[in-house]
Structure 1
Amino acid sequence: MASPGLIAASVRASSGAIMRLTWHYHVAFSDRFRRVNVSSQPTATLEEEKRKITAGIFDTQFSWPEVFDTVAEVYHGFVFWSMLTSLGIVIWYFPLWHMGISGYEAFVMSTISPLLLGIKSFRSLLTQNLRACHLLSLAGLLAWKVQDPAYRLFTVGFGVAMSCLAWAGTLYSESVHPVRLESRILAWIVGLTMSSAVKYAWQTNNPIWPIMHAANGGYNVTGLVLAIFAALRFTRRAPLNTGVAENDKQNGSAFLAALGIGGLFFGLHSLLSDTSTMILWVWDGYPVRGPLSAPHGWFTLVAMTAGLLTGIRLPKLVSSWSIYGIGCIGAAILTLYPGWFGYFGGLTTAFYLAAIASPFITAASKKNPATTFGLGFFLYNLMVLFHVWVVAYAFVPGGPLVREHTDWIMATMMLLIGAGIFNVTSIHSRRQEIRAPPSRSRHRKYHSLALCVINLFFVAATIRRFPTNNYKPYHEDSRVLTAGIWTIHFSLDNDMWSSEYRMRDLIKELEIDVIGLLESDLQRIIMGNRDTTQFLAEDLGMYVDYGPGPNKHTWGAALLSKFPIMNSTHHLLPSPVGELAPAIHATLDVYGELVDVFVFHSGQEEDPEDRRLQSEYLSKLMGSSPRPAILLSYLVTKPLQGNYNTYVSDVSGMHDVDPRDWDRWCEYILYKRLQRVGYARVSRSTITDTELQVAKFVIPKSETEKAQVAALETNSEKRNRRVKEHEVPEGWRFPALFRGQGVRGHRYHVFNEPLYYKPS
């Protein structure tokens, strides 16, 4: 061990060397500055000096073939992520309608097709026919033309399998040429940033997904045509490694590389495929104490951009254990904390995942692709299932073992990434860094500019999405609040189409001011990392509370309101056996009066004790509010029986919107200290599996009106007196559009017309 004196001498010598080097650099830079500013200096020399100072990034000389190559590569990467992120949605459709495992879940394994590259003859055949493989993968984009949901899933599964196979083969083929390999990797990951930006512009839907078509905002034909041209351009160069010569001689472990790839791709997909995902993880209600999906989603994209560029330029630094530790801290903060602090952890995680993408994929490309990508995608699939089972534990074997353990998911993801770091650091320790050839900086420049364009596109989309509505209720003069409750079945209609547009039209035409949405949490891989409430709130001019976030392990509850949300709290009701029951308790400013609105989804029929405990909890919660209140709920009980009498009780103080409506089982509207004037049940058409229930309330203004409403609290006969439509003012009436056969499959049903109430 060195003596203290020797260490001190070394430090002094090092300090002196650093000072001399700094002075030499200062003199040299000053001399360069003087030479650059001499007016007689030739223009060519000045341009060269400028290029050196700016690293060439602002050069105005472009090679148009390289520009087209970059555009094609990035778009082809975007197509890959579009197909991969769509696979979960079309799989989810089947267990959703079967209310359990359907067998179609096996298609999640479409991604493990690179395992076929373990057959040397097949690997050689594939790498010599990469263009055909990439073109065949575009079947995933053509799937929107397939009307039958099962066949559409088959088509998407085939497209994803071919795409994973083609990309693994391409990266393996290019691995013998560092510049071309890095260009492909950049295209793959920049394609992810493009996918996230496009989803932001389309309010979390991707316009080329197979659940989209022209009627709900899809651009499938345009996307497919561009994808064909991009694939042809992407594959115009002959493969460099056909698989005949082994490329598995570098240091490092293929198994560890596969572990890293599994963790990396799960992190990229689950957290970064939509810029609002991590924001909703840290959302905890009103008043706003953290980021909003619009506009703060751009910060996520900036973190991804910075991470990717850092990983390309400083791969050894971002692959170090110290940076890995920072990434682990960021993931822990995101998992455990709400608000801005939690989001800062999310930004750290976004930066880290994007930064390590290039070193991980580079190492994986130089080993046997069957192991690195085949096994890597298999581990990614296991993580996807883990990611679903923490909330779907009631429907899968062994589910209770992992119920509500998002923390385990994040820890497992970071452990897999840690294995990848161990592999990359072992490679770095065994070889010297090779300086990149000059040509590498050219393609880096084009991909950096592509990232700039994507960020500018995101900013433009933010400006377009800036709310311009005045949030006015539909019948302000009559002081009417129209409230609704709807179970939206994760925004997938009966035919596997995204249903946001159809939902918006019905909500608008029914003139609903406040609506509770259930089964509304779509921020998981299996649901496409979507958020229906963004589209509905912005298009309808409403405030929105997303409810308990994706890391709270519920199926979701959301509130949309034309009235300002003054405060909201999120509740997870007792669920010792079955799935968690989410609730929102929000206080609205309704025509100058404070009104409480509760949105609640009860547990399943199979868990009676859970539902009993939940009814007691919610009854006490509603009873604790002295203000007028409305419950928009899914109760799983029959009218006048069982837990119904806990919800409608002296403890809660709530009344049924119509106790004579005997045909209900799930959806209920309850209220107190308001004048209920109308109630209707509207058929769902093919949007979901549950009708839309709507009620109208008049908000009392004067003390006299409030006293009259208070008197009705103890007189059920007067409170529930039905009258004909002509006996109530025009502003209290439901739209006539849905009478008779209605429109687009929506009509008043059960009573065949709305019900109206007016005390005698």
Structure 2
Amino acid sequence: MAPPTKPPTRNPDSDNATAPVSFPAAHLARAHTWLSSAAFVVALSLGLLYHYKKIVKNSVAGYPEEFFPSVSATIGDWPPERNLFQIIIAFTSGPRIALVLLEYLLHSRAWDSQFPAIICALGLLRTLSCGGWVYVTSSDDADVHDFCMIAYIVLNIPWMAGCVVCAPVQTRRRRIAVASAFFISLIPLVYFYLQHKIHRVPGAYTWYSFCEWALIAFDVLFDSFAEEEFKCANLQIFVGDSSMTAVKTVDEGVAPETTIKSKESVLAPTVAEKSGLELSSERNNYVSRFSFKLEIPSSWKPVISFVSSVYLSYIFWSIFTSLIPTLFYFSVWELGISGQELALLSTLSPIFLSIIPVLSWAKSRDGTMTLHVISLLGLAAFILDRPVHRLGVVFLASTAVVMKEATKWAAVDDVEYQSILTGLGLLLSSLSKHANHSNNPVWPFVNSESGGYNKTGIFLAVLAVYEHYVRKPATQGQPKKAKQNSKTPPPKITSPAGHWLTGAIPLGSLIFTLHSLLSDSSTLISWSWTGYLNSHPRGPIPHLHGSVTFIAQSIGLFLATTLISSASIDELAHPLWFFYGCAGAAVLYTYRNWLGYIGGLNLAIFVMSIIPIVLKRASAAAGDRGESTGKVYFTAMLVYCLLGLASIWTVAYAFVPGGVYLRERTDIVLVLQMACLSLAFKWPGLKIPTFAPQKNILPTALLSYSRITLACFSVASLLVTLYRTPAGFPQPFKPGPRIFNAGIWTVHFGMDNEGRDSQRLVRDVVRDMELDVIGLLETDLHRIVFGNRDLTRVLVEEMGYYVDVGPGVAEHTWGAVLLSKFPIVNSTHHLLPSPHGELAPAIEAVLDVFGTYVTVVVSHNGQEEDPLDRELQSTELARIMAASYPRPVLFLGYVVTKPHAPRPAPYEILVTDGKVYDIDQEDWDRWCEYIFYRGMYRTSYGRISRGKVTDTELQIGQFVLPPYGTNVTDESEAARYLRSYKEDLPEDHWFTMDYYEHNGGKHGHFYHVFGTPLYYKIPKDPLL
């Protein structure tokens, strides 16, 4: 007989409690799907019905060229569709937030980490950004609308990736398919947007709109899969007394055993699934059904895999080196800390690898592909017009690409291969800059107008990513290694591993050294350049000898591959090799011209050769299973950031807190980076990991590919130099009548007002004005903050100029450049007295102008905040000009003074003590730029608006030089100010008519202040 059943205990407090009401959580997911779909369908239907021709019309064309509306025009321009859409979306907000929170509750049970919480936070931010572009339409505030839209798309990346990682097997395949479709749709979206926005192609916006609506459909479809996940978990929502359980995952009638089984099979991904290993036959069948496969001969596959891996390494360096110039644009405009500098923290993203599920995900195929896709967005950022939008996308891409690279570097069994790829990717980046006027063609701050080949780069990157996805995971792009005896143990560390900092710190210094010194082939030349002597350069010329730097880098990496093949790579960790590198660095810093450059070449060989050693040390420090990956590579990138900031402070000390301690102390930075590198070497008594010699550490085929690639790169650099070298010698624009034009322009570090490279914009104006002599200021770009660029390359290689790039990186100035159509006989670089402010550069050059020697001085001196500096600098410039008396003089400078300002202001000092004349002393509306002259006739003076090139105007002057051996006949004020109309002068003296404002100007520039160039007659009876 069964024992009596105990009657249920009555709770008196619950007599009046409301009976609990429950409903499946899947209903909320379904409500979200239907409401969000209804909002867009209703808006589109009403828009097509009531305002069809209005919503298809845009700034380029209307119906019939444009025949389908964009999402923004549909939901935001006209009532009643705008009103109904916003009402329905308001009803959607509740289920949407609930969906995000329920996903978190579901996933948190299967993941013993903070990963679901991070995804939940990102999902909530995604929801808020959605509200931003929905309720602030493009007609309300275009910038806010665009920012929220871009933020929504960007946040979709980690949201979709996190949902895929956490998804149960029932929905994971479909989530992957829809997420892939979402991101693939971005490619034609960007293409058609460019066709519409830049090329203004009628009809392109319609196709852009189709892609935009596709993104909406994929986005809603992706979130709809939550309904099935909630059903599988039997997730219920209970509404009742507060003492009752709010959320349960199973019915009370289900046995405990069933509950446990359900959680393991449905909710909890296995270790293999977390790591991306395809152990599920169902998953493999899915890949085989839906993957597009291109049949390639088997003998080609290792080569194609190697090429794609090199290109992906190139993409890493391209995105990595673009981050700081993209953010520093704001610092330059603010001349101080602007806040955008925090974007540098994206390079510290390896800290996320300290979370084991994130590390497992990053190592998996799905994780790797997700990071690849995010990095491609960094390339696509070039389509964005606003610098702050580009920075946001590049920040995200940099976060992903550094995480991805750290994960690859941490692979103990693959580190030699990854080290070679890292070096080859850097070389390819440097070669692409050498071939493209010192600009990386896929940088996001260049476009087709500024020398970019962004679409081509993205297309090749997509192919490389696709190849990486379809290749066999076991090979990772390598030819198969020779089979080894199964009894042979894997390579082991034969000495104690030492502290993990000995692996992290050298890696950070290595990355900084590669970036700051070797990411452009002409940076080392800039360190050693001092100008001309007896019509010949004293040292190497950037646009001619850059390929020599490239060859030295190739030799260093070739040495590493040779020692890897002979299992002797650890010999490069000998202290004697480190001393060799230190000697090269010391010679580079101490000496100039060819000797200093030779020191730099030896340093380049050393740094490239130790890439495998340093990466192996870091990989060993991370551990065989990668348990220390996060802290090792986070610390490495932290060292990189600190060294980068220190190198900036050596010249930007006047604008940053604490900068005075590193003022002009590049020697300290150089010593620090070499000291950090020293930890990778085998010092007596220091516990440094040493690897036992092992044959066949890399297959012969791979080493052959690497050496062939190095040879091809070296030959290509020489061919590029020959191709880019101008034919013949520079010739003045008007060689007959002894007329030459000169100009001074502060070009704001080669960044235009939209944050893009400005070399071609400068070229166009210089060509139109026919400037024979040009002074350019703020031109020292061979720093990581400016992308290690050479601002003179387009002018020199396309228009033919002699060039003196002025004081280089080691001189700690903002830079000055002299470009001349006339031979530079001698030039001297001056560092003007600067006890308080930043160090001011000046170039004193002697030009052979139509057979007459003319002294030209280009300077960037003086800040209003430092009156003593301005006085001392002006006194020195006046001394330089007076010392060449009575030789003709042309001064092109940035002075910061009012016209006719008395001492100690610079104007009177320069004019009186320097024995020169103002180009027009009656022009009272000046502050920064000035042109002074002596010993020649001034026939025209003009001021040209800045356009979008910079924040400073261009000042130009025209001069007529007396014949050799003669002087100006009358230098009285009356003779110098015989004003004239241009029609009274020969046409040789006219500046172009295209820049008159009433003609619309050209390239955004026009004659301003006077509305025309000012013209002057030459005194009677001159000797010409």
TM score, norm. by length of structure 2: 0.65
Cα deviations by residue, 1:463-516 (Å, 9 ceiling, x for unpaired): 111211541111221111100000000111111111111110100001110000
- Is the 1:681–1:749 Cα contact (8 Å) retained in structure 2? yes
CA-atom RMSD, angstroms? 2.0
User: What secondary structure, in the 3-state scheme, does the structure 2 residue paired with 1:82 have?
Assistant: helix
C-alpha displacement at 1:613, in angstroms? Answer: 0.6
SS at structure 2 position matched to 1:576? coil
Q: Deviations over 1:141-176 (max 9, x none)?
A: 11111222111101111111100101111232x32x
Deviations for 1:506-545, whole angstroms, at most 9, x for unmatched residues? 0000111000000011110000000111221121111100
Distance in 2 (CA, whole Å) between partners of 1:466 and 1:77 is 29
Equivalent residue for 2:856, pick from 597, 615, 627: 597
Q: Which whole-Å deviations, capped at 9, do the CAs of 1:692-745 have from their partners, x for residues lacking one?
A: 000001010166xx34x1531xx1122122111122222112111112331121
2:918 is the counterpart of 1:656: yes
**Contact in 2 for aligned 1:75/1:191 (Cα 8 Å):** yes
Mapped to 1, the partners of 2:684 and 2:354 lie a distance apart of 22
Q: Give the direction of change, closer, same or farther, for the CA distance of 1:672–1:143 in structure 2 (3 Å limit).
A: same
Query: 2:445 and 2:334 mapped to 1: Cα distance?
Result: 19
- Contact kept? 1:545, 1:560, Cα under 8 Å: yes
Distance 1:102 1:702, change over 3 A: closer
Q: What are the residue-to-residue correspondences of 1:539-558 with 2, within 5 Å?
A: 539-558=798-817
The worse-fitting range, judged by mean Cα deviation, of 308-317 and 261-270 is 308-317
Q: CA deviation at 1:303?
A: 1.5
Matched residue type, 1:201: A
Distance 1:569 1:119 in 2: 56
Rounded to whole Å, the distance in 1 between the matches of 2:539 and 2:930 is 32
Specify whether residues 429 and 269 from structure 1 end up closer, same or farther in structure 2 by C-alpha distance, changes over 3 A only.
Answer: closer
2:922 counterpart letter in structure 1:
R
Distance 1:350 1:648, change over 3 A: closer
Aligned with 1:711: secondary structure? coil
Percent of aligned positions that are identical: 40
- Alignment of 1:224 with 2:461, yes or no, is no
What is the match of residue 724 of structure 1?
981
C-alpha separation in 1, matches of 2:388 and 2:1008: 31
Q: Aligned partners of 1:346, 1:440: CA distance in 2, in Å? A: 32
Q: Distance in 2 between matches of 1:508 and 1:171?
A: 48
Q: Give the aligned partner of residue 547 of structure 2.
A: 298
Moved more, 453-462 or 588-597: 453-462
CA distance in 2: counterparts of 1:150 and 1:742, whole angstroms: 29
Write out aligned runs for 1:442-591 (5 A): 442-591=701-850
**What is the aligned partner in structure 2 of residue 203 from structure 1?**
437
When residues 710 and 535 of structure 1 are mapped into structure 2, their CA distance, relative to the original with a 3 A threshold, is: same
Q: Is the 8 A contact 1:252 1:423 kept in 2?
A: no
Task: Name which of 925, 937, 943 aligns with 1:675.
Answer: 937
**Structure whose CA Rg is larger:** 2
How far apart, in 2, do the equivalents of 1:355 and 1:424 lie? 22
Q: How big is the shift at 1:189?
A: 1.3
* TM alignment of 1:16-27, pairs within 5 A: none
Deviation sequence 1:79-122 (CA, Å, 0-9, x none): 10111111111111101111211000111121111111112222
Q: Distance in 2 between matches of 1:457 and 1:317?
A: 31
For residues 186 and 105 of structure 1, the distance between their equivalents in structure 2, rounded to whole angstroms, comes to 31
Q: Which has the higher contact order (CA 8 A, sep 6+)?
A: 1
Query: Superposition pairs for residues 250-289 of structure 1, below 5 Å?
Result: 251-287=497-533, 288-289=537-538
Give the conservation status (yes or no) of the 8 Å contact 1:564–1:588: yes
**1:610 paired residue number:** 869
Asked if structure 2 preserves the Cα contact closer than 8 Å seen for 1:93 and 1:492, the reply is yes
Q: Out of 397, 412, 415, which is 1:159 matched to?
A: 397
Aligned to 1:55: none
Q: SS in structure 2 opposite 1:238?
A: coil
| Cα distance in structure 1, aligned partners of 2:795 and 2:298 | 43
Contact 1:251 1:426 (8 Å CA) reproduced:
no
Letter in 1 for 2:646: F
1:672-711 map, 5 Å: 672-701=934-963, 706-707=966-967, 709-711=968-970
Between the aligned partners of 1:726 and 1:409, the Cα distance in structure 2 is 59
- Out of 559, 567, 575, which is 1:321 matched to? 575
Q: Deviations over 1:204-229 (max 9, x none)?
A: 10110011111122110110111122
Distance 1:81 1:625 in 2: 48
Q: Which residue of 1 aligns with 2:898?
A: 638
Change (3 A) 1:558 1:125: same
1:363 to 603, 617, 630: 617
Structure 1 residues 184-218: Cα deviation after superposition (integer angstroms, max 9, x where no partner): 22112110011111100012101100111111221
Moved more, 637-646 or 339-348: 637-646
Q: Which runs of 5+ in 2 are unaligned?
A: 1-296, 477-491, 623-627
CA distance in 2, matches of 1:100, 1:458: 38
Query: 1:478·1:732 contact (CA, 8 Å) conserved in 2?
Result: no
Residues 261 and 372, structure 1, Cα contact 8 Å, conserved in 2: no
For each residue in 1:583-638, what CA deviation from the matched residue of structure 2 results, as whole angstroms up to 9, or x when unmatched? Answer: 00000000000001000111211111100111111111110002100000000000
1:737 aligns with 2:994: yes
Structure 1-normalised TM-score? Answer: 0.87
Whichever residue aligns with residue 406 of structure 1, its letter is T
Contact 2:374 2:397 in 1 (8 A): yes
Alignment CA distance shift 1:566-1:757 (3 Å): same
Is contact 1:83-1:141 (8 Å) kept?
yes
Question: Are the counterparts in 2 of residues 281 and 338 from structure 1 also a CA contact under 8 Å?
Answer: yes
* Structure 2 match to 1:9: none
Q: Which residue of 1 aligns with 2:284?
A: none
CA distance in 2, matches of 1:675, 1:395: 41
Q: What is the SS of the residue equivalent to 2:712?
A: helix
Distance in 1, matches of 2:594 and 2:810, equals: 16
Question: Alignment length, in residue pairs?
Answer: 685
Cα distance change, pair 702–621 in 1 and its aligned pair in 2 (3 A) = closer
Partner of 1:146: 384
Distance in 1 between the 2:729 and 2:676 partners? 48
225-234 or 656-665: which moved more? 225-234
Q: CA deviation at 1:428?
A: 6.9
